[in-house]
């Protein structure tokens, strides 16, 4: 970036911009692979089967998934259309700031960036303790050397857990710095492996009978309890059979599902996608539908095999019961082993799900750095965040800053173990972050009429005289608004009867939203005072690719 300063000291300065330096290297297959990981259906299955029946007691899973697909398709289409109109780095930030107002673009991008940093940092140790560790221990825990190594590095203390988490994060971030394509090869590997593993698991589920699975569970005693004892033990410690749900609980459960299945974040690197409309259509829409199908099949099949009440009790013992939760015995891997009845196959499937979590850790890295890049390109933050290496074609400094912040969060999580509260707060932050784009999509045909008319066909389609984008935008915005309102109407302000979204996480959500609102006015005042540059002039143009 370079400035052409005005010679008149009291006149706002204008500036000319060079090309971003980012390279169009991302294909439709890359977007599809990325969407499958960012959506996280392979992670939603193990976490959802533990958390949905236990934390959101009695919630109707068919209702949640039925409403979810409507909102997911609206969100995915709006993302494809807006990215086709604005194929630029920055995604939501560019969409909102150019169609409505800079603050409207900063709110979703700031909230998403915040959730990325917290999410990456908390998921790294979670992947080790809740996925990789149980994968080894469930299948090969009888091997003393395996058990001692896993116990030493993952469960013996926060220092070891932090070291492994930090090493993993640094290696993944290093790939993103070295070359975007190299990072996408990693994304491809973990997404394909995870997909093969989950398909193998589905094959076992398709031919399994409840009686044989229960017999396997009883003979293996991987949790230390047989099938009936799981419910008995949970009941003795405060669990009760679910007796229906409420709209508030359903709203909380739906936001939990959206956290994994809504993945519009490929828009943040839109300027690097080849043939943007086609690639986003295939990767974004296709990936959303595939993700929903995978998650729905997995969760409904497991409920059919084990029963809803058993899984509610199992999840209670895994997450809430103070007598059993710390042991980690009630992991999803115990259910896998009961279904496949072979430790080697269970290990293969468990490793695939572990890789899926690792992919979910990696997925926000590129979008997070591109948010900082776009802010810097518009002069909201220092210019260095928009610098792109001529050798690697990546914004190395921006990626490095995100890496540092996530490692700090991983350390805090390893030492203070606040993963559930931080995670639930993050799901609500993400829901708030996804809402503004619905309004942006609905108003684009009227606020930027010429751009809309000249946009690719996928964006300017109509239902009679009404732009399709306006219809889907309203479905998107109203749907998310209703869910968020319902969540905060709950007595524990969470929509869950276990009240995990207590005062601490609520304060975090409120602070993040407040900062996102005041961010632009403060940046504008600083630029005006320091450089006599009127930032409002920036938003009258579209950034170059």
- The series of mean pLDDT values per 10 residues for the chain, 545 residues long, is 44 48 86 86 92 87 94 96 93 95 95 88 88 94 93 91 95 92 88 93 96 97 95 94 82 85 90 93 94 96 96 93 88 96 97 92 90 92 88 89 93 72 66 91 95 92 95 96 79 43 69 92 92 85 72
Q: What pLDDT does 85 receive?
A: 94
Q: Considering the domain boundaries, does residue 120 fall inside one?
A: yes
Q: What pLDDT does 499 receive?
A: 42
Q: What pLDDT does 421 receive?
A: 54
Contacts of residue 140, defined as CB under 8 A and 6 or more positions apart, other chains included, come to 146, 147, 343, 347
Q: What pLDDT does 56 receive?
A: 84
Q: Considering the domain boundaries, does residue 451 fall inside one?
A: yes
Looking at residue 418, what DSSP letter applies?
A: -
Q: Give the residue numbers spanning the domain of 280.
A: 28-540
Backbone phi and psi for residue 467, each to the nearest 5 degrees, phi listed first: -60, 130
Q: Is the separation of the CB atoms in 53 and 315 below 8 Å?
A: yes
* CA neighbor of 47 nearest in space, from 379, 264, 330: 330
Quick check: helix, strand or coil at residue 22?
coil
What is the Cα–Cα distance from 412 to 406, expressed in whole angstroms?
10
Q: How far is CA 527 from the centre of its chain?
A: 33
Token pair of 472 as six digits: 């889907």
Q: Considering the domain boundaries, does residue 155 fall inside one?
A: yes
Q: What pLDDT does 2 receive?
A: 39
* CA neighbor of 411 nearest in space, from 65, 118, 141, 94: 118
Task: State the DSSP string of 459-491.
Answer: HH-EETTEEHHHHHHHHHHHHHHHHHHHHHHST
Count CB atoms within 10 A of the CB of residue 342. 15
Q: Considering the domain boundaries, does residue 353 fall inside one?
A: yes
CATH number at residue 77: 1.20.1740.10
Q: pTM of the entire structure?
A: 0.87
Quick check: helix, strand or coil at residue 510?
helix
Q: How far is CA 259 from the centre of its chain?
A: 5
* CA neighbor of 328 nearest in space, from 93, 134, 84, 53: 134
What is the Cα–Cα distance from 143 to 206, expressed in whole angstroms?
31
Q: What pLDDT does 225 receive?
A: 96
Q: Is the separation of the CB atoms in 361 and 123 below 8 Å?
A: yes
Domain total in the chain? 1
Q: Considering the domain boundaries, does residue 315 fall inside one?
A: yes
Q: What pLDDT does 530 receive?
A: 87
Task: State the DSSP string of 202-220.
Answer: HHHHHH--HHHHHHHHHHH
Q: What pLDDT does 504 receive?
A: 65
Q: Considering the domain boundaries, does residue 8 fall inside one?
A: no
Backbone phi and psi for residue 6, each to the nearest 5 degrees, phi listed first: -80, 150
């Amino acid at each position: 970036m370079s400035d052409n300063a005005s010679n008149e000291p009291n006149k706002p300065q204008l500036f000319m911009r060079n090309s971003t330096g980012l390279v169009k290297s991302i294909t439709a297959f890359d977007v599809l692979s990325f969407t499958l990981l960012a959506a996280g259906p392979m992670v939603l299955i193990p976490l959802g089967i533990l958390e949905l029946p236990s934390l959101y007691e009695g919630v109707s899973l068919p209702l949640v998934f039925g409403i979810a697909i409507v909102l997911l398709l609206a969100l995915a289409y709006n993302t494809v259309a807006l990215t086709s109109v604005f194929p630029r780095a920055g995604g939501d930030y560019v969409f909102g700031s150019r169609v409505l107002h800079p603050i409207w673009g900063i709110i979703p991008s700031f909230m998403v960036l915040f959730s990325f940093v917290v999410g990456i940092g908390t998921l790294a140790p979670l992947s080790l303790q809740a996925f990789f560790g149980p994968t080894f221990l469930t299948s090969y825990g009888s091997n003393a050397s395996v058990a001692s190594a896993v116990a030493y590095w993952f469960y013996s203390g926060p220092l070891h857990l932090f070291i492994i988490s930090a090493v993993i994060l640094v290696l993944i971030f290093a790939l993103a710095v070295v070359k975007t394509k190299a990072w996408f090869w990693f994304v491809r590997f973990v997404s394909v492996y995870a997909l093969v593993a989950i398909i193998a698991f589905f094959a076992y589920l398709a031919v399994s009978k409840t009686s044989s699975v229960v017999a396997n569970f009883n003979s293996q005693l991987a949790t230390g309890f047989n099938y009936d004892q799981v419910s008995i033990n949970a009941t003795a410690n405060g669990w009760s059979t679910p007796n229906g749900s409420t709209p508030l609980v359903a709203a909380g459960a739906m936001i939990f599902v959206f956290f994994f299945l809504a993945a519009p974040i490929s828009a943040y690197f839109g300027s690097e996608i080849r043939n943007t409309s086609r690639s986003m259509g295939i990767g974004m829409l296709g990936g959303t539908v595939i993700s929903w199908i995978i998650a729905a099949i997995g969760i409904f099949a497991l409920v059919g095999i084990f029963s809803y009440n058993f899984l509610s009790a199992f999840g209670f013992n895994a997450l809430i019961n103070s007598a059993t939760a710390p042991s980690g015995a009630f992991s999803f891997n115990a259910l896998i082993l009961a279904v496949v009845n072979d430790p080697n196959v269970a290990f293969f499937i468990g490793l695939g799900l572990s890789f899926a979590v690792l992919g979910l850790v990696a997925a926000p890295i590129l979008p997070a750095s591109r948010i900082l890049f776009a802010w810097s390109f518009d002069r909201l933050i220092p210019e260095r965040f928009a610098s792109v290496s001529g050798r690697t074609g990546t914004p190395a400094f921006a990626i490095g800053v995100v890496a540092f912040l996530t490692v700090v969060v991983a350390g805090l999580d390893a030492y203070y173990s606040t993963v559930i509260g931080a995670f639930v707060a993050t799901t609500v932050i993400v829901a708030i972050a996804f809402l503004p784009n619905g309004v942006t999509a609905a108003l684009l045909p009227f606020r930027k009429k010429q751009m809309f008319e000249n946009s690719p066909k996928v964006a300017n389609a109509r239902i009679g005289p009404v732009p399709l984008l306006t219809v889907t935008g309203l479905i998107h915005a109203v749907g998310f608004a209703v869910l968020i309102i319902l969540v905060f109407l709950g007595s524990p302000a969470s929509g869950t009867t276990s009240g995990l979204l207590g005062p601490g996480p609520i304060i975090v959500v409120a602070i993040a939203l407040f900062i996102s609102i005041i961010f632009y006015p403060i940046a504008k005042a600083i630029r005006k005072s320091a450089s006599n540059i009127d930032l409002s002039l920036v938003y009258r143009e579209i950034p170059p690719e």
